[in-house]
Amino acid sequence: MKDKEDIWLTCACGEKFLFSIRDQDFYESKGYLPPKRCKQCRILRQKEREKFGQIPSSN
Ligand SMILES: [Zn+2]
């Protein structure tokens, strides 16, 4: 089997991001698919999710 090496992926926003060997191992061990989003987009998406996850307060 071929040795792993760092891979550069392109996000949907056009940003290139590094998918390091360490990350590849992590994703593989979890059975995840390689990430499609750069760090920035993932943080944004996380924030969105937190927003939607909030229970609307009655006011
Ligand atoms: Zn992005």
Q: Residue-wise over 3-28: b if at least 16 C-beta within 10 A, else e?
A: eeeeeeeebeeeeebeeeeebeeeee
User: How far does residue 59's CA lie from ligand 1's centre (Å)?
Assistant: 35
pLDDT at 57: 65
Q: What's the pTM?
A: 0.69
pLDDT confidence band for 2 (50 / 70 / 90): confident
User: How far does residue 46's CA lie from ligand 1's centre (Å)?
Assistant: 13
Structural domain spans, the chain: 7-53
User: How far does residue 29's CA lie from ligand 1's centre (Å)?
Assistant: 24
Q: pLDDT tens digits, residue range 26-51?
A: 999 999 999 999 999 999 999 998 98
